[in-house]
Amino acid sequence: MPVKQISVFLENKSGRLYDLAKVLGDNQINMIALTVAETGDYGVVRIIADKAEKAVQVLKDNGFTVSETDVIGVVVPDRPGGLASVLEVLKGNNLNIEYLYCFAGPTKDTAIDIMRIEDVTKAEDIIRRSGFEVLEKIDTID
């Protein structure tokens, strides 16, 4: 089971990201990770949140353009070469990453890499078999 990422299409207008954060906050939804991919005029905000389903509903109800995306969450060692170790596996299996972002993991010496790969199931399988922990969901981090 891959991790659900919430992708929101946003115009590059002042206050628009605030609107989004406010709606989530007012509904007691916590964002674990957020990253913005942008062109000059618009962007896609990618969010990992606890209560992902509720987040999608709340955003839609408030007029945001939302889609859900399956992404892979991998726990990697938080040390030099940590990211490279998992990328090496992907490279060896000809798996191409569309985008990736990282954040600190649940324990001091781990980090979490969120990866968007076309064939999610296959990629998850390969990564897991190579000895990495692949997360099912990321709403339990404390």
Partner 1 sequence: MSIWNPEYETMPRHRLEEIQLQRLKWTLNWVYERVDWYRKKFDSIGFKPSHLRSLEDVRNLPFTTKHDLREGYPFSLFAVPLEQVVRIHSSSGTTGKPVVVGYTRGDLNTWAELVARIATAAGVQRGDVCQISFGYGLFTGGFGLHYGLERIGATVVPVSAGQSERQIQIMKDFGSTVLVCTPSYALHLAEVAEQMEVSKEDLNLRVGMFGAEPWSEGMRKEIEDRLGLQATDNYGLTEVMGPGVAGECRERNGMHINEDHFLVEVIDPETLEPVEPGEVGELVFTTLTKEAFPVIRFRTRDLTRLIPEPCACGRTFMRMEKVRGRTDDMIIVRGVNIFPSQVEAALVEIEGVEPHFQIIVDRKAHLDELEVMVEMNEKFVTDSMKKLVQFQKEVEAKLAQKLGIRAKVTLVEPRTIERTAGKAKRVIDKRQL
Residues making contact with partner 1 (CB under 8 A): 5, 7, 9-11, 37, 39, 41-44, 46, 63-67, 69, 98-99, 116
Taking the complex as a whole, the smallest distance from the CB of residue 41 to partner 1 amounts, in Å, to 5
Nearest residue (CB) to partner 1, 38 versus 109: 38
Detail the DSSP E strand segments found in the chain: 3-11, 31-38, 42-49, 65-77, 97-104, 110-117, 133-135
Nearest residue (CB) to partner 1, 3 versus 82: 3
Taking the complex as a whole, the smallest distance from the CB of residue 67 to partner 1 amounts, in Å, to 5
Which token pair is 1? 């089971």
Taking the complex as a whole, the smallest distance from the CB of residue 128 to partner 1 amounts, in Å, to 23
DSSP assigned state of 119: S
Asked if residues 119 and 95 have their Cβ atoms less than 8 Å apart, the reply is: yes
Place of tokens 């605030």: 18
